[in-house]
Amino acid sequence: MNDRTCIVSRKSGPAEDMIRFVADPQGVIVADLKGRLPGRGCWVTARRSLVQQAADRNLFARALKAKVSVPADLADGIDALLVDALTGMMGLARKAGQLVTGATKVDAAVRSGRVNAVMHASDAAPDGVAKIDRACRAAEAAGGGPVAAFHLLSADEMAVLSADGRVIHLAVLAGQAGEGVVKRAKMLDRFRDGGENGQIAGKPAKETETE
């Protein structure tokens, strides 16, 4: 009963996998990420390519049955909001003790089997990523489940999580805040047309489909 229909693909899906859009009082399309803004709304599956199609094909006006204007940077603005949501939850997870930073500590946490996901800076050195990937494979071989790996934020974006301003690798532990981090990471990854659950650590990323 909570399913919504994407105005681009015409496919139904749960509201948490979509983004709601409304027109503000000036008729400008805005993304309602929390689904709380008043007025008639329409839904687009949370992928950048589909949001761009909705803008290019004038689908927002058709769905809302009104004359609207679409900001040229609509998709970029959504990406920035999703990054803010992710980093904000990462900060809460750090305070709750559900985030581990530093390559050595991340490696140890992964091998302990306590990790739900790992995150690498998008500009991390390949050898550092490979080392943690090996730890993930070792943990899985020891009976643990596959560990999702995300490459969503730059080192500068992740630096806010550390007093010394240096975060390249981190591990997300179990817990409410940690689960919130993984949920938001998946959302950002999907929006960037990356997939559903991030790349599985130790396995090559799947090729992006083109239309």
pLDDT digits (tens, 9 = 90+) for 143-186: 888 899 999 999 988 888 876 677 899 999 989 999 999 999 99
Give me the pLDDT at residue 211, please: 29
**Single pTM value for the model:** 0.85
CA 73 to chain centre: 19
Among 30, 40, 35, CA closest to 15 = 35
Give me the pLDDT at residue 205, please: 46
Kindly indicate the confidence band of residue 198, based on its pLDDT and cuts at 50, 70 and 90.
low
Residue matched to tokens 């992710």: 86
Give me the pLDDT at residue 199, please: 58
pLDDT top residue among 196 and 101: 101
Give me the pLDDT at residue 200, please: 53
Give me the pLDDT at residue 184, please: 94
Mean pLDDT check: name the lowest of 72-81, 192-201, 202-211.
202-211
Q: What is the mean pLDDT of residues 139-144?
A: 87
Domains along the chain? Answer: 3-72 (3.30.1230.10), 79-200 (3.30.1330.30)
